[in-house]
Amino acid sequence: MKIIINCDDLGASLNVNDRIFELMEQRRVTSATLMMNGPAVEDAVQRIGKFRGCSFGVHLNLTEFSPLTGQTGLLPLLDDHGEFNGTARRHPRDISLTASIRARVYAEWCAQIERALALGVPISHIDSHHHVHTRLSLLPVLHRLRQRFGIRKVRLRHNVSGVSHPMSPLRLARNSAWNFILRHYVGAKTTDSFASFSVFHERLQAGLGWKGTIEAMCHPGGESFAAETELLRANWQQRLGRDAQLISYNDLV
């Protein structure tokens, strides 16, 4: 079993940055994705060079902070202050991502990746804030991004069920189908499994393991993730078997 512990939201705030880098120093997390329109992203970029053993990707964003490309064509996704209003994370019935909006999403995501490249980020993979890259209507956009920038490694949809709150068979089937399309249509290289760190930790405590590679997503320093941050600081690694290895996305081949 090979495990990637990936921190989302790097660059969202100085507190988030501090907590992520603290856990990297302790070798409790191995990867992070940068929110390129986040208010503290430049602070994050200045510090990632100290962590050569970790991977750094881009956390594509359509739901928080201001777009890098301005308001043109993105108004349905913005609030009165010109910041993303979170609409893109809602159920498809709540918003129609028309062809024109998808074109602007492509431009915005290109701008986010281009900013990362301009700042010298060694991009290892991509995922997204609130999992918006997993919306079925945005698969063609994701495909174009992967081809344009040659970034092959992409996060899956959840395909590991929790112990106390198991995933329904229907949701698991839908997520597995999307993951198949991601690999075979988009051409993405992925881990075998993906779960939140809380699900990963719960299964670890129950003595349930995996074969192959798994990414466990976490949010150190996030306002709603204080309990998860404390779990990450605890001695959860002692429960790993001898055949378990912490890796980064750079090691995923």
**pLDDT at 95 > cutoff 70:** no
SS3 16: helix
Q: Please state, as a whole number, how many other Cβ atoms lie within 10 Å of the Cβ of residue 99.
A: 8
**Tell me, what's the pLDDT at 89?**
76
Arithmetic mean of pLDDT, 16-41? 97
Q: What mean pLDDT value characterizes the chain?
A: 93
Q: How confident is the model at residue 211 (pLDDT cuts 50, 70, 90)?
A: confident
**Tell me, what's the pLDDT at 94?**
46
Percentage of the chain with pLDDT > 70?
97
**pLDDT at 93 > cutoff 50:** no
Q: How confident is the model at residue 91 (pLDDT cuts 50, 70, 90)?
A: low
Give CA separation, 19 vs 24, 64, 232, in Å.
9, 20, 10
Q: How confident is the model at residue 66 (pLDDT cuts 50, 70, 90)?
A: very high
**Tell me, what's the pLDDT at 219?**
98
Arithmetic mean of pLDDT, 183-187? 95
SS3 88: helix
For the chain, domains (ranges, CATH) are: 2-251 (3.20.20.370)
Long-range contacts of 110-118 (CB under 8 A, 24+ apart): 110/145, 110/148, 111/67, 111/68, 111/69, 112/36, 112/37, 112/58, 112/60, 112/61, 112/68, 113/36, 113/58, 113/145, 113/149, 113/151, 115/36, 115/68, 116/34, 116/36, 116/58, 117/149
Q: How confident is the model at residue 226 (pLDDT cuts 50, 70, 90)?
A: very high
Arithmetic mean of pLDDT, 5-23? 98
**Tell me, what's the pLDDT at 242?**
82
